[in-house]
Structure 1
Amino acid sequence: MAKAKKIYNQQSLSHYYNASQFRIDTWNKLKSTTRQIANGGTNREKNIEKVRELLAYLAPVEIYWAFPGSQVFQQLVRDEQLEEFDLLANKVSRIASALLSGEYRRKHIVLDGAAETEAERDSGIESTPYTSFDRARRRPYFEVLIVDDLTPAQAESQRAALTGMRRDEDRCTYAPIFVPSLDDALIAVSFNHSIQSVVIRFNFDLHSENGLPVLSKYLRDTKLDGIEDVDSSEYGIILADAISRIRPEVDLFLVTDQSVEDVAGRVGKTCRRVFYNSEDFFELHLNIVRGVEDRYKTPFFTALKTYSSKPTGVFHALPISRGKSIIKSHWIQDMGEFYGINIFLAETSSTSGGLDSLLEPSGPIKEAQDLASRAFGSKQTFFATNGTSTCNKIVVQALVRPDDIVLVDRDCHKSHHYGMVLAGANVVYLDSYPLSEYSMYGAVPLKVIKESLLKLRSEGKLDRVKMLLLTNCTFDGVIYNVQRVMEECLAIKPDLVFLWDEAWFGFARFGPTYRQRTAMFSAAHLRERYKSESYREEYTRYQDETADLDPDDHEAWLSRRLYPDPDQVRIRAYATQSTHKTLTSLRQGSMIHVHDQDFKSKVEESFHEAYMTHTSTSPNYQILASLDVGRRQVELEGFELVQKQVEMAMVLRQTVMTHPQLRKFFRILTVGDMVPSEFRESGIQSYYDLEQGWNDIWNAWEIDEFCLDATRITLYVGQTGMDGDTFKNKVLMDKYGIQVNKTSRNSVLFMTNIGTTRSSVAYLIEVLVKIANDLEQEIEDMSPAERRIHDLKVKSVVEDLPPLPDFSRFHDAFRPSGDQPGDEGDSRTAFFLSYDANNCEYMGLNDRSLDDAMEAGRDVVSASFIIPYPPGFPILVPGQVASMEIIEFLRNLDVKEIHGYRPELGLRVFTEEAIQRQMKR
């Protein structure tokens, strides 16, 4: 075994992104190899040696899982040593199948006796007697990690004592795992997604004897340097804090031999319960089950189910309620057959009968929102049933007053721009860095944001600056260093409000690497940071270093990191998330998350009014219930699902990069392609390298100004000769039924989500290989003339790309008057000025008259939003002067849907007379 383990450690484990993928693949290899031996296949001796190696590979992995468990694994080793290969093959087959399907979570897997056939498994018929233990396992199942240095006999005794406490009335059931060290505990919670509770005792070692590289990489993320110098009595508290950072949703129980009152006071935020010396097993069992049940609760979903089961008489609105108008119909009963009756039983306009009002929640909706706030790490969370577009308008209207200055990412979603119009804000648009070779934008560099704030300070306008609005992450997956952006901006404007549009980033809370770049985590972290004495010392040094800097020397301030005054800074962060886009929710289910120190004193009333303004008085209860259930899911299995989501994306990246046929026509853009080197302090070029395998991305995610969401896979298709829109519609959609969301001139964006399976990834790979094969054959059969045409098509999408325009400027007619005119503009005035048709005219986008007018010096001023979709951000806004670069970009767009533009009429612009009248006001 030792020899095999040594051989294994020398193999290229770096080509596995995570240990879960390695574990399943290794069990499947063991299943295949033992079957070959049992069936009398050739190369028996070679296969026996392979079985020994595979068992050795699994030995250090299986200690972190309750199934199949250490005892069963040792039986497999003994079966191999006794050359009982028929028995071994049967056991391994059942284990591998149960792991792959998750069957072990639903019933007890019997490994002795005759093998269960594929037909039996597929039919769902029990092949063994139905026991009380089976009935328990049909409840939701999880695993409990116990950190204690025990002998095998002691561990088995405690396992029996704890599992013996299970009762018929328990809503869920579990199995314990025992690990002997702090390192092993951190590996276990990072690796085993089934762990929902951790019991930390006072007798454990620091370091693991397990040196498997694919596991030890988890330890590099925990930042426990110097722990050897800490008194051993502190190990439990340190471990609890570390686990809460990795898996904040997990319930922690601490068993201590120290002063229990003192320890309880120090771990109140992380531990659910502290036990003294030797815990009562029954009490521990009750706490473990109760902790999971608390997360399992879905107050509104439960209330809606209860309401739906009650007989009622409807003398109110909604003929469709209880399905009455459908059941009675002679013509639309197929609708009821399609949807099923429950959706109509839950359709109501009543807020009584155990339900609640979304506009004034005081019952199950309020409780569901409070649970969502806990899950997503906010101070307050609000549900929305008409999408994140409405959430954005609610936040902007609640916080922004007319003439407030708002710094806005020009590439943000159109709802923010409309929100600025509604609020009457003066907007300063911020330009993202361009990726011209791929016809897309990145994100706004921190230097650009700081420069705008410093300029506004020099112009005496900092008191009018209210908000910074950025998209995190962008449509194409570029993610901000949220803490760094907030910290340096607060150094200039200590009470600046941040609105982070996380419409596509709701899942990030439930992955440890991703979490550090979310708005709510960053707000909570910075708030704690500014309370600490260590930060005060850091700030004092910063003051000394900057004491002689001229406040108006912008270059000096731009070239250094800035730190806010802890006595003045206020943490005010908002995040809007499309739950339905990345987590489980019905369409348009969204949430607003708030971490604002001044919410109660400055915002609550205006927020309520804005919420009332934009929220329907007839919200869809099914959407609300789905938000409630979606929250339950991510608290109990979000870590697992996000881990698998990222894994699926990484597998797709790896396959395209290594497949010889795919590499001829396709390339997945790396972080080096999407983020310029000046924004990648880590120097990392790609998450996967052909020679070295997977790179360690934790450091990059911690320090780089921008990083790339691995679940966004931008496939570069330039070498096919097709533009992105053609490749999406004519090939992927029409021919193979594959849906994608966004394209650029030469790329197609794929996204994995928590519902993505290995089968769907395999199908996509299969399709791409077919496309590559067809293209290769087509090119081989081309005549010289056809080949020249093909090469010109490739050149047009690879080289002949329209330049990406920056925001030009607001016309002076829509800029605030005064001694110090700035970059801010009043799009509201322009927006409503266009309501009078006499103020507007149309100019054909491709007409020579447009070019002549611009060459003659006329300012062509947009009277409307011009928004290509996707991705949904405006190229022109009301009051903006159209530059020749913008016109050329619009002429070369390959998307067919452009909101605000009518091809038969042209661009809607203000007449010169209207502009002159506006200038005189």
Structure 2
Amino acid sequence: MHAMRDYSSAIQLRSDRWSALREATSALTRNPSAGEASQLRGTVESLFESLGDMESYWAFPGKQAFALIRRHFDQGKLDDVSFAVNRITRALTTGAYRRRSIPLERDSVDQDEQDDEAHLSVEMRALSKPYFEVLIVDSVNDHQERWLKANVTGMRRPEDPFIYEAVVVPSIEDALIAVLFNHNIQAIVVRPGLVLHSDKVEEILTRYLARAGGRDEIDAIPPENYGPELCRMIAKVRPELDAYLVTERSVEDIAGLELGICRRVFYNSEDFMELHLNILRGVQARNKSPFFTALVEYSKQPTGVFHAMPISRGKSITRSHWIQDMGAFYGPNIFLAETSATSGGLDSLLEPHGPIKEAQELASRAFGSKQTFFATNGTSTCNKIVVQALLQPGDIVLIDRDCHKSHHYGMVLAGAQVSYLDSYPLSKYSMYGAVPLSEIKERLLQMKAQGKLDRVRMLLLTNCTFDGLVYNVERVMQECLAIKPDLIFLWDEAWFAFARFNPTYRQRTGMNAANVLRAKFKTAAHREAYEAQQEELKDASHETLLKTRLIPPPTARVRVYSTQSTHKTLTSLRQGSMIHVNDQDFKGEVEQSFHEAYMTHTSTSPNYQIIASLDVGRRQVELEGFEFVQRQIEAAMSMRRAISDHPLLQKYFKVLTAGDMIPEEHRESGVTSYYDAEQGWTDLWDCWERDEFVLDASRVTLLVGGTGWDGDTFKNKVLMDKYGIQINKTSRNTVLFMTNIGTTRSSVAYLIEVLVEIANSLDELNDDASGMEKLAFDRRVKNLLDNCPPLPDFSRFHKAFLESGNSAEGDIRKAFFLAYNDKNCDYLELDGTLKDAMARSETIVSASFIIPYPPGFPILVPGQVISQEILSFMRALDVSEIHGYRPDLGLRVFTQEALEGAEGTPKPVAVLESPQVETPQLEKPAPKASKKTST
């Protein structure tokens, strides 16, 4: 039996142990030798012992059925045991237990076996009632437990929209473990009889308790508050669930307590029907998808179409003699649901008042925002909407230089002054990391010393990055607000929409951190801590401020925006995205400008299918996002382990770890790898709670330089062309494998098979290669692994695009439009005229964005001075695609005449001032010019 350390997830451990139990019990029925039988019996005993504790958290097969199987085993009824275990394992694999009762007796016949979900069509599965489980927390004996479960489930009626089974646990610890272990749980009933501690917590399950506050917080709960505190703690880890509190306390006692996810309090009541109806109503509230439902109903209506869109109702297709294949491919429903009308139960995305408005409100609840807006043309547009709504010419924006290009173009549209921040470089892998907090604080303090802090409007960062680096969002916002209390934060979470539905990941999302800070700033403890630190720092040096974890004033405004590509990491059609808002000043300051920006960038003919998919995608993650994200992370962890432990794969590949991608000074926990062959799995919680940067475990960056192929070649010529494996991110010597909520263990197994086949073929090639061929292979590998060009930092803007001599922020809009006139531009060849001009120490300024792909970040923006480091990097690039660069002409640059003319043009200034907010007294001498050291 595998040791517990071999598993990153208790769910996967449970599944594998049931499979192992099936194999062992089946083997016992095949008349093994005495020695084999003794060994098998020992294995079965050990598996029963391990599964015994786990099964108490699941409704199927249930504690009673599991105990019966163990008794049969003790009595030597091996055929009965094997039969029952086979039935259970099959039902767990196919999901049959969600549809019907599973008979476990050996003489029983499962008449509906062919009716399992795996055998049903999508249409038939859609007609079945969804299944879930209800957790009842009450310390009762076996008889009372059976009575409780019988009373709750006995209330079920044929007309109910769902079916559910009950799970009973006795303690707060058991309840917390259950909701983090059992993804089927959708509701919790907390009764007065619960106790504090569990008597059967395995090591792999114990680690779950930290997510809800840890043992210290649990031990501090007074007995009279067990029920309310459990509701509050569950809200921290599974906020989408519903809780119902049965209590004997008075209304006055309960009213002042934090009840978390509690939807209703029942006072000393055994009204099981009322409880049953409330449970169904709570789940139905999450199962609701108002716009998708409206669209389905619209498609059923007989209508006459006298507006735009010939394809509406499919008329232009059904009447055609030449495009019937399109109708056959897509089917009729997609055309029946196509319309440009905003009536008939539908709604307008630009002015929502009906089902779209309701769908956005439900999304806001699901993602923890104050307002949520749908977008049907991707997160690139979402980014431009937010930037345009919040910025105006003259505002200063601190922005990650290697963020998505939509942000750079957004700066052009807004006319903001851009102050680029440098991420730490990972030159060895030709990728950037993330922007250290010290770099951000340094820039803010610099702006303060220069008297420009009032114009600093926004900090814009990517969380998480394409390569999976995640910020400590709460800490970044706290320390920045300590310097600039009304700073606005835009977190580009295009690749992080799924994070909301995992307790470990959720703490590092923009919306969660915003809600935490809003609550924290109101507390007396925070005010006292702030005042004490202000006294301590009144004579602090600049260096001290950089090293101190700063506390913002209680009056700081929490102003947070997150843009998410729902279609990238959750269920949505292509280009389905969302904007989440948690801005205390949205109603008073931003709402009108946001509406105008939304109108500017949103199509007046949005795709209703995309909107419907966003609505359904939200419904899915509220009901099963916890399960799906957990399985997604499991798949990536399995991939890590399989590659790291395989001796052949180790010759040519390496999975990059947190230690490879995050410098030591940014990893306070000291965790270097999520998996090690000697130590097993590392619990993610500790490093995700403490470290400045963490690595998203669902992304696996594979170093492929050892194969002699660069990342682009490995992606296109090997994975895609030969094996049909699709990926979309590479660097010079790496490829990125991203798991998602649709990734299966079979997909991971196939990928490992492919990598092994590739490694075997490389072994064979090297075995048969001549001496010169081996030398050439070794040179290619060395070039990819050891001769990586250093990644250049942002150089500077030319003075023609600066406000003054001490400015670092540039007017990217001015540079962008200056290049519209061809007379202002020239082309220089990298290895010719550009190289010669640089050798003569001439100042050469880029007239366009230059974006090598891979890696896909801009190394030059309009108005940026070309440095020797940037030139060397471009000359060393061996990629075929560089956006903005024309190989036939060279690099587009500004002429000296254009630059001289631009220096005389007036600079824009902000028309409106930022609201006056209390600023902490951090007045210090002007800091020295900072140059971040490459790590």
Residues 148 and 203 in structure 1, CA contact (< 8 A), matched pair in contact too: yes
Cα gap change, 1:891 to 1:71, in 2 (>3 Å): same
CA-to-aligned-CA distance 1:14-41 (integer Å, 9 cap, x gap): 1211110100000001111111222334
CA distance in 1, matches of 2:89, 2:287: 29
CA distance in 1, matches of 2:791, 2:220: 55
Identical aligned pairs, as a percentage? Answer: 62
TM superposition shift of 1:545: 1.1
TM superposition shift of 1:872: 3.7
Residues 665 and 720 in structure 1, CA contact (< 8 A), matched pair in contact too: yes
Question: Aligned ranges for residues 415-454 of structure 1 at < 5 Å?
Answer: 415-454=406-445
CA-to-aligned-CA distance 1:45-98 (integer Å, 9 cap, x gap): 322222222111110100000000011101110111122122211111111111
Instruction: Say yes or no: does 1:787 pair with 2:771.
Output: no
Out of 100, 112, 115, which is 2:105 matched to? 112
CA distance in 2, matches of 1:500, 1:592: 10
CA distance in 2, matches of 1:658, 1:912: 58
Cα gap change, 1:507 to 1:863, in 2 (>3 Å): same
Residues 136 and 172 in structure 1, CA contact (< 8 A), matched pair in contact too: no
Cα gap change, 1:872 to 1:264, in 2 (>3 Å): farther
Residues 233 and 260 in structure 2, CA contact (< 8 A), matched pair in contact too: no
CA distance in 2, matches of 1:96, 1:909: 67
**Could you say which residue in structure 1 is the equivalent of 2:547?**
559
CA distance in 2, matches of 1:867, 1:582: 25
CA distance in 2, matches of 1:344, 1:416: 35
Out of 342, 345, 360, which is 2:333 matched to? 342
CA distance in 1, matches of 2:139, 2:125: 32
**Could you say which residue in structure 1 is the equivalent of 2:916?**
none
SS at match of 1:391: helix
SS at match of 1:878: coil
Out of 168, 178, 194, which is 1:204 matched to? 194
CA-to-aligned-CA distance 1:406-465 (integer Å, 9 cap, x gap): 000001000000000000000000000001111110000000000000000111001111
Question: Aligned ranges for residues 430-509 of structure 1 at < 5 Å?
Answer: 430-509=421-500
TM superposition shift of 1:868: 2.6
CA distance in 1, matches of 2:694, 2:108: 49
TM superposition shift of 1:112: 2.0
TM-score, length of structure 1 as denominator length? 0.95
CA distance in 1, matches of 2:212, 2:865: 51
Out of 712, 724, 739, which is 2:726 matched to? 739
CA-to-aligned-CA distance 1:209-267 (integer Å, 9 cap, x gap): 11311111111332241543442001112111110001000001111111134314424
CA-to-aligned-CA distance 1:511-561 (integer Å, 9 cap, x gap): 000000000000000010010111112112211211222xxx422211111
Instruction: Say yes or no: does 1:33 pair with 2:17.
Output: no
Question: Aligned ranges for residues 705-716 of structure 1 at < 5 Å?
Answer: 705-716=692-703
Question: Aligned ranges for residues 201-280 of structure 1 at < 5 Å?
Answer: 201-224=191-214, 225-267=216-258, 269-280=260-271
Question: Aligned ranges for residues 51-66 of structure 1 at < 5 Å?
Answer: 51-66=44-59
TM-score, length of structure 2 as denominator length? 0.94
Out of 144, 169, 175, which is 1:179 matched to? 169
CA distance in 1, matches of 2:177, 2:95: 21
CA-to-aligned-CA distance 1:147-167 (integer Å, 9 cap, x gap): 100111101011111111111
CA distance in 2, matches of 1:688, 1:279: 49
Instruction: Say yes or no: does 1:728 pair with 2:718.
Output: no
**Could you say which residue in structure 2 is the equivalent of 1:286?**
277
Residues 94 and 117 in structure 2, CA contact (< 8 A), matched pair in contact too: no
Residues 432 and 441 in structure 1, CA contact (< 8 A), matched pair in contact too: yes
Question: Aligned ranges for residues 856-875 of structure 1 at < 5 Å?
Answer: 856-875=840-859
CA distance in 1, matches of 2:132, 2:256: 29
Cα gap change, 1:572 to 1:267, in 2 (>3 Å): same
Residues 648 and 752 in structure 1, CA contact (< 8 A), matched pair in contact too: yes
Question: Aligned ranges for residues 534-553 of structure 1 at < 5 Å?
Answer: 534-549=525-540, 553=541
One-letter amino acid matched to 1:822? S
Structure 1: where are the runs of 5+ without partners? 1-7, 128-133
Cα gap change, 1:124 to 1:534, in 2 (>3 Å): closer
**Could you say which residue in structure 2 is the equivalent of 1:5?**
none
Name the Cα RMSD after superposition. 1.8
**Could you say which residue in structure 2 is the equivalent of 1:91?**
84
Question: Aligned ranges for residues 153-164 of structure 1 at < 5 Å?
Answer: 153-164=143-154
Cα gap change, 1:410 to 1:135, in 2 (>3 Å): closer
CA distance in 1, matches of 2:708, 2:109: 52
One-letter amino acid matched to 2:575? Q
**Could you say which residue in structure 1 is the equivalent of 2:364?**
373
CA distance in 1, matches of 2:851, 2:603: 26
Bigger mean CA deviation after superposition, 891-900 or 317-326: 891-900
Instruction: Say yes or no: does 1:613 pair with 2:591.
Output: no
Residues 90 and 115 in structure 1, CA contact (< 8 A), matched pair in contact too: no
SS at match of 2:580: strand
Question: Aligned ranges for residues 290-689 of structure 1 at < 5 Å?
Answer: 290-549=281-540, 553-567=541-555, 569-689=556-676
Residues 731 and 854 in structure 2, CA contact (< 8 A), matched pair in contact too: no
SS at match of 2:613: helix
TM superposition shift of 1:120: 8.1
CA distance in 2, matches of 1:491, 1:174: 49
Residues 829 and 835 in structure 2, CA contact (< 8 A), matched pair in contact too: no
CA distance in 1, matches of 2:90, 2:116: 13
CA distance in 1, matches of 2:125, 2:713: 53
Out of 146, 151, 167, which is 2:157 matched to? 167
CA distance in 2, matches of 1:200, 1:420: 52
One-letter amino acid matched to 2:131? Y
One-letter amino acid matched to 2:151? A
CA distance in 1, matches of 2:878, 2:324: 43
CA distance in 2, matches of 1:279, 1:264: 21
TM superposition shift of 1:115: 7.1
CA distance in 2, matches of 1:614, 1:435: 35
SS at match of 1:206: coil
Bigger mean CA deviation after superposition, 510-519 or 712-721: 712-721
Out of 902, 906, 926, which is 1:918 matched to? 902
Residues 875 and 886 in structure 1, CA contact (< 8 A), matched pair in contact too: yes
CA-to-aligned-CA distance 1:355-406 (integer Å, 9 cap, x gap): 0000000000000000000000000000000000000000000000101000
Count of residue correspondences: 898
CA distance in 2, matches of 1:279, 1:463: 60
Cα gap change, 1:510 to 1:123, in 2 (>3 Å): closer
**Could you say which residue in structure 2 is the equivalent of 1:888?**
872
CA distance in 2, matches of 1:126, 1:909: 60
- Does 1 or 2 have the higher relative contact order (CA < 8 Å, sep 6+)? 2
CA distance in 2, matches of 1:168, 1:227: 40
One-letter amino acid matched to 2:802? R
